[in-house]
Amino acid sequence: MSLEIPGNVRRAFIWTRATGMLNLNDVYSSLLRDGSILTEAYAITPNGRYIVGRGFNRSRSREEAFLLDRGPQCVSHNGDVDANGCVDDADLLAILFAFGQSGNNLGRVDVNCDAAVDDADLLVVLFNFGSGC
């Protein structure tokens, strides 16, 4: 999507319930140091990882398509950390070994996708322990 802002300059943005509206030029400013801008975002994959659109490449003085890879996005689950179909001791141990870690790249040990491996993740595993086995 794009948004007109004062000065008739279009900017690409995305909206999510969790974050609200985000200007992609702000989020990816480290990639746009030469004055390039992202003007429109056309689509985002269902998992939120990839965004496609167009922008103006200042160093080449032309409009170009862009593809942004936002990296793996967290998907909450029932505690099956190793995704083998069974919530068991391996999943419990994975949570315990990662307990106290935080950040956006925790992988499946962040069961509830809150950017922290804590008691909430441990409880999901414990409540579902034995399911699928």
Where is pLDDT greater, at 16 or 96? 96
φ/ψ (deg, to 5) at 105: -120, 45
Give me the pLDDT at residue 8, please: 56
Q: Please list, residue by residue across 64-81, b when 16 or more beta carbons sit within 10 angstroms of its beta carbon and e when fewer do.
A: eebebebeeebeebebbb
What is this structure's pTM? Answer: 0.54
Query: Are residues 49 and 71 in contact, defined by beta-carbon separation less than 8 angstroms?
Result: yes
Give me the pLDDT at residue 6, please: 44
- Round to whole Å and give the CA distance between 63 and 20: 27
Predicted confidence (pLDDT) per residue in 97-123, tens digit = 999 999 877 889 999 998 899 999 999
Class for the domain spanning 75-133: mainly alpha
Q: What are the residue ranges spanned by the domains of the chain?
A: 2-69, 75-133
